[in-house]
């Protein structure tokens, strides 16, 4: 029997990672610092996962164990685990080091740890601790929600795979729905640029049109039109930079759009739009794809619209100085592009309708 431990019994750990391991006949042990959650899992002994749009049958997860992270049972479970998946948020990974140190005392083989967190190089704190472990990372494309805080049941996207970084020496884990990704760093960057740029379209144009709910903004006819205008440009430039086919990247971009336009996934404009100045940084989600596009002589007309919408948000909602959010943009743009930006800014500041702006582009 193969043993898996999932550290972090929250939405992603239980809704996305657990079914992947269960499908490969692993026995599952959940470990979490939330003792009330562990108590609830042990009392109810099962929970259900329903999938957005009923794209897959509801499934039941049971026959698991659950221990508090401070318990001796947690140490023993990790000591006997063939694979250990973390889902605790990258900022909390360092908190697991004392637990892993305790495990090391009597474990004979290196731990096989997969950090299933969002971010770049999330494993760095664990690697720096020089644990007796092979530590790799997975990339999460799946959104999981807990619709009722009084229930363990979850609502999840029907995403099949959890790609993991195959470049790590000593990796012996083999899970069918955890494909080994040879170009993992590229995949991370593609996700950041694709998902985050397309998200910026929804966030900042949605804010401008007065939306609060993200999915509703993504389905607005004006915003959906802009998405379709930008989709092929973003896809072409990212495909070129990362040496993949345009067809593959276009499908990747469409996957992001489908996610954002799914109104069952409850999210807010505010959560996605905040910290606009940071997101307008030289190496961030808006300017990096724009810079790639200019380097490839692509038309950035519609991308400029998104940059200006983000600038307007930063000034109006976060009290930033216009010049401070404008400075990185001016470095790589032509005089014509800068003039276009200024003209668009005037339209945003005068509250011209998005429909009218679209007609003029």
pLDDT tens-digit readout, 291-328: 999 999 999 999 999 999 999 999 999 999 988 888 88
Q: Which residues of 191-201 are buried (b: 16+ CB within 10 A; e: fewer)?
A: bbbbbbbbbbb
pLDDT tens-digit readout, 45-90: 999 999 998 999 999 999 999 999 999 999 999 999 999 999 999 9
Q: Which of 122, 151, 182 is the last residue of a domain?
A: 182
Residues 191 and 309 in one domain: yes
DSSP secondary structure code for residue 290 in this structure:
H
Residues 245 and 346 in one domain: yes
State which residues form the domain around 68: 2-182
Here the CATH number for the domain that contains residue 171 is 3.40.50.720
What burial class does residue 335 get, using C-beta atoms within 10 Å of its C-beta: 0-12 exposed, 13-18 middle, 19+ buried? exposed
Of the given ranges (19-23, 116-120, 349-353), which has the lowest mean pLDDT?
Answer: 116-120
Residue 170: both structure tokens together? 């000593």
The number of distinct structural domains making up the chain is 2
pLDDT tens-digit readout, 162-198: 999 999 999 999 999 999 999 999 999 999 999 999 9
Residue 83: both structure tokens together? 């694979």
Residues 216 and 252 in one domain: yes
For helices 335-349 and 322-330, give the axis angle rounded to 10 degrees: 150
Q: Which of 135, 150, 182 is the last residue of a domain?
A: 182
Here the CATH number for the domain that contains residue 192 is 1.10.1040.10
Residues 139 and 15 in one domain: yes
Q: pLDDT grade, residue 105 (50/70/90)?
A: very high
Q: Which of 182, 212, 233 is the last residue of a domain?
A: 182
pLDDT at position 3 over 90: yes
């Amino acid at each position: 029997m193969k043993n898996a431990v999932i550290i972090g019994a929250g939405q992603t750990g239980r809704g996305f990672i657990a079914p992947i391991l269960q499908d490969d006949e692993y026995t599952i042990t959940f470990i979490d610092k939330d003792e009330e959650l562990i108590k609830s899992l042990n009392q109810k002994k099962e929970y259900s996962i329903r999938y957005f749009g009923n794209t897959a049958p509801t499934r039941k997860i049971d026959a698991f164990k659950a221990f508090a992270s401070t318990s001796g049972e947690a140490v023993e479970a990790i000591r006997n685990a063939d694979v250990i998946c973390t889902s605790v948020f990258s900022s909390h990974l360092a908190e697991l080091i004392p637990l892993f140190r305790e495990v090391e005392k009597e474990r004979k083989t290196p731990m096989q740890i997969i950090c299933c967190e969002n971010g770049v190089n999330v494993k760095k704190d664990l690697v720096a601790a020089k644990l007796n472990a092979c530590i790799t990372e997975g990339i999460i494309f799946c959104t999981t929600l807990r619709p009722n805080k009084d229930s363990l049941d979850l609502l999840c996207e029907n995403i099949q795979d959890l790609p993991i970084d195959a470049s790590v020496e000593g990796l012996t884990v083999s899970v069918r729905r955890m494909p080994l990704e040879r170009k993992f760093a590229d995949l991370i960057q593609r996700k950041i640029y694709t998902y985050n740029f397309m998200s910026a379209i929804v966030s900042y144009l949605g804010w401008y049109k007065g939306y609060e709910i993200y999915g509703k903004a993504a389905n607005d006819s004006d915003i959906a039109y802009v998405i379709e205008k930008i989709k092929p440009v973003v896809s072409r430039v990212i495909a070129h930079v990362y040496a993949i086919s345009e067809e593959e990247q276009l499908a990747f971009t469409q996957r992001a759009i489908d996610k954002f336009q799914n109104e069952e996934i409850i999210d807010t404009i505010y959560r996605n739009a905040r910290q606009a100045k940071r997101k307008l940084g030289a190496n961030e989600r808006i300017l990096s794809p724009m810079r790639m596009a200019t380097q490839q002589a692509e038309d950035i007309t519609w991308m400029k619209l998104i940059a200006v919408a983000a600038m307007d948000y930063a000034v109006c909602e976060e009290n930033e100085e216009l010049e401070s959010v404008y400075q990185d943009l001016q470095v790589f743009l032509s005089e014509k592009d800068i003039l276009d930006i200024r003209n668009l800014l005037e339209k945003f500041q005068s509250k011209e309708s998005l429909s009218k702006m679209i007609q003029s582009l």
